[in-house]
Amino acid sequence: MSGPIIVGVDGSPTARKAAEKARELATRLNAPLHVVSAYADDRTEVVNSGSDQWVVSDADNARYIAEKVSESLKAPGVEILPRSVHGKPADALISYAEKIDADVIVVGNQRMRGVRRVLGSVANSVSHNATCDVYIANTYAD
């Protein structure tokens, strides 16, 4: 068994494609897959609807995204763990990878084309600062 694999998700279709690639990698390497959704702020909001009241936070929303993606990725023989991590996406992925001694971080190549790639992206930041291997999944392909 290999060490943990981490994939960053935010609910977008491109993050979903990266998560599918991460699942394939985890399956082949017989490694646990940590599905991580980051949240930069820990804002909490109270929502009222009639006599009902809900407390919603950024952390809850991130956890919900990680759980939904994890559920959709389920496959025999693959341990999939949803996680929400505080911080900007790239920083959260890197710090979480260090915390669990991950072997690989999987990110999509969203925003790595054209002018935006010069300005930075999660994949760019992770690839330049991670202390483990980084797999940049092609999320542009159909």
pLDDT digits 0-9 by tens, 96-118: 999 999 999 999 887 555 544 44
Question: Over pLDDT 70: what percentage of the chain?
Answer: 83
Evaluate whether 33 touches 132 at the Cβ level (below 8 Å).
no
Evaluate whether 34 touches 69 at the Cβ level (below 8 Å).
no
State how far the Cα of 62 lies from the Cα of 120, in Å rounded to an integer: 22
Task: Give the range among 55-64, 105-114, 120-129 with minimum mean pLDDT.
Answer: 105-114
Band of pLDDT at residue 28, cut at 50, 70 and 90: very high
Q: Cα Rg for the chain, rounded, in angstroms?
A: 16
State residue 106 phi and psi, 5-degree precision: -105, 125
DSSP strands (E only) in the chain: 5-8, 33-39, 44-49, 52-57, 80-86, 104-108, 133-137
DSSP sequence for 81-116: EEEEEES-HHHHHHHHHHHHT-SEEEEE-TT-SHHH
Q: State both tokens at 51.
A: 């006599």
- Report the pLDDT value the prediction gives residue 66, as an integer from 0 to 100: 97
- Report the pLDDT value the prediction gives residue 58, as an integer from 0 to 100: 82
Please tell me whether residue 49 adopts helix, strand or coil conformation: strand
Residue with tokens 């929400």: 84
